[in-house]
Amino acid sequence: MELDPLILSRIQFAFTMTFHIIFPSFTIGLAAWLATLEGLSLATSRPIYRELFDFWLRIFVIAFVMGVVSGIVMAFQFGTNWSALSARTGPIQGPLLAYESFTAFLLEATFFGVMVFGRQRVSRGVYFFSCLMVAIGTTVSSFWILANNTWMQVPVGYAMQGNQFVPTDWGAIFSSEVLWVRFPHMILAAYLTTAFCVAATGAWYTLRHRHAEGARVMLRMGLGLAAVLIPLQLVIGHLNGEYVEAHQPSKFTAIEGRWQTEQPARLLLLAWPDEAAERNAFEIGVPVMGSFFDSLTFDSREPGIVTVPVNERPPFLVPFYGFRIMVGMGLVMLFVSWSGVWLTRRARMDKGRAPPRWFLWATAISFPSGFIAIVAGWFTAEIGRQPWVVFGALRTADAVTPSLTTSAALTSLLVYVTLYSLIFPAGTYYIWRALRAGPGAEKTTSNQGDRGLIVEPARV
């Protein structure tokens, strides 16, 4: 593979995007979790909810800042590496990104400061309202990003004026059926990611015999939310698969991994391609089940990779295995959450008993499952649409900055790798320190009031 400006720009975008998506996917769910804790604190006056709020607020602040920093980098790349894309799709992508600033950023910037520094300066009702606004802001932000990306995946409501994509129907862009299955898919993924981080934290403290009351609340609430959401996520995920089959046959056939059209179709679990011979050199499959999972029938005809022109086929391995990793993580979350709800009820944690240690360990080490699923899903979506950046309308090779040289692209990539190698381990370290200290650590420094990241605990 020759390291030309196109390949280097794609590597850079994939590298920065992989880091960036971790933090918004966490903070979207974490903002909702904080709003829930503050609401429970208001409704019940139980000190534990305030204690947990203060604990998770510190982690939220760090993750939020890291998401903002990495998000700025994403915007820069549209000018430095992808100026041709910006010039041609700017009439559509520009307003969508601007709408995010006018709505989501406005909410977040206004009320984030109240959350962090305003506990003692506003009433409890106003503070709770601020928590809700931050949670709504993070969700609205994800909507505009998904609206932008969905238009690139399945472009609608546009016409060509010269070499520019110009909007002709904003209603079609905002009401796209594809957007309204992708957006809830992402929101549910974010909530599940946070739910498993919360549950894993509770499981870890239970194993360590620390923060017993907070650990019980985190374990039960995290697993309970995940148990409710994961079946819904599997249904929404299937709907996403239907849009891929209908609108992106090249991505669909790469995900399925079958080279020839089959009726009924097999479900391939593992495969290694021989692209020159247009077959798999190695594969393990289950007869008929491919038709069932693709169309919910046992005799449907499913297309193979050979039905896609050679110059429009995406790479095989990343969509194929990325999809299976995502689904595999979903099944792990399903098992852990459902078994966890049953085991915690059976153990009667409210009486001071704990679930089996093997389950607590399983829950603790499952904390990255949501992050892995999200990253694998985005790799599947983005690499699966290659060689298109606007599917079927603009090739990725035609979107890169024409004047970009190999040396400039390589220098930019190395700078980003160096900076991220310094910044993100630092953020991760401070999150780890907060997790190690646990709930209630703020009490030792409560005399600092609202300074820094320390929030004074409630008076009870």
Q: Summarize the confidence of residues 79-93 as an average pLDDT.
A: 92
Contact 168, 158 (CB under 8 A): yes
Q: Summarize the confidence of residues 267-277 as an average pLDDT.
A: 92
Per DSSP, the three-state class of 284 is strand
Conformation bin of residue 57: beta by default, left when phi > 0, alpha when psi is -120 to 50: alpha
Condensed to tens digits (0 to 9), the pLDDT of residues 48-59 reads: 999 999 999 999
Q: Do you find a cis peptide bond into 155, omega within 30 degrees of 0? A: no
Nearest to 234 by CA among 23, 377, 368, 20: 377
Distance between CA atoms of residues 223 and 247, nearest Å: 35
Per DSSP, the three-state class of 158 is strand
Per DSSP, the three-state class of 1 is coil
Distance between CA atoms of residues 85 and 338, nearest Å: 45
In the prediction, which pLDDT does 448 show? 41
In the prediction, which pLDDT does 449 show? 42
Q: Summarize the confidence of residues 176-196 as an average pLDDT.
A: 95
Dihedral sign of CA atoms 108, 111, 112, 113 in order: positive
Q: What is the DSSP string of 322-337?
A: HHHHHHHHHHHHHHHH
Nearest to 62 by CA among 437, 366, 389: 437
Q: Does position 444 have pLDDT exceeding 80, yes or no?
A: no
Sequence-separated (6 or more) residues with CB below 8 Å from residue 422: none
Distance between CA atoms of residues 83 and 399, nearest Å: 7
pTM comes to 0.90
DSSP structure class, residue 376 = H
In the prediction, which pLDDT does 159 show? 94
Tell how strand 388-390 and strand 279-286 pair up.
Answer: unpaired
Condensed to tens digits (0 to 9), the pLDDT of residues 197-231 reads: 999 999 999 998 888 888 999 999 999 999 999 99
Contact 386, 153 (CB under 8 A): no
What confidence tier does 78 reach under pLDDT thresholds 50, 70, 90?
confident
In the prediction, which pLDDT does 304 show? 93
In the prediction, which pLDDT does 459 show? 28
Condensed to tens digits (0 to 9), the pLDDT of residues 39-48 reads: 999 999 899 9
